[in-house]
Amino acid sequence: MKTLDNQWRTSSRSGGNGACVEARYADRTAQVRDSKDQAGPVLSFTPAQWTGFVQEIKAGAFDA
């Protein structure tokens, strides 16, 4: 997994169907937005919160 930088990134697993989010690291926070609404709201998380979230994903906590 690549680390976040200040550029908006879409997951490499995104199917390109527009149902995805973008993430970046800016202002000392991990930020997430809807790729379809780039001018819309941005959610911000501390680095610790983001790292915990990514670890949970890797552990399968959110598998459908």
- The pairing of beta strand 21-26 with beta strand 29-34: antiparallel
Q: How many helices (H) and strands (E) does the chain have?
A: 1, 4
pLDDT of residue 14: 73
Residue 5's pLDDT band, with cuts at 50, 70 and 90, is: confident
Identify the bridge partners of residue 19 per DSSP, sorted by sequence position: none
Give me the chain's average pLDDT, please. 86
pLDDT score of 22 more than 50: yes
Residue 64's pLDDT band, with cuts at 50, 70 and 90, is: low
pLDDT score of 32 more than 90: yes
Look up the pTM and report it.
Answer: 0.74
Query: What sign does the dihedral 25-41-43-21 (CA atoms) show?
Result: negative
Domain boundaries, the chain: 9-58
Hey, what are 29's tokens? 């926070």
Q: How far apart are CA 27 and CA 2, in angstroms?
A: 19
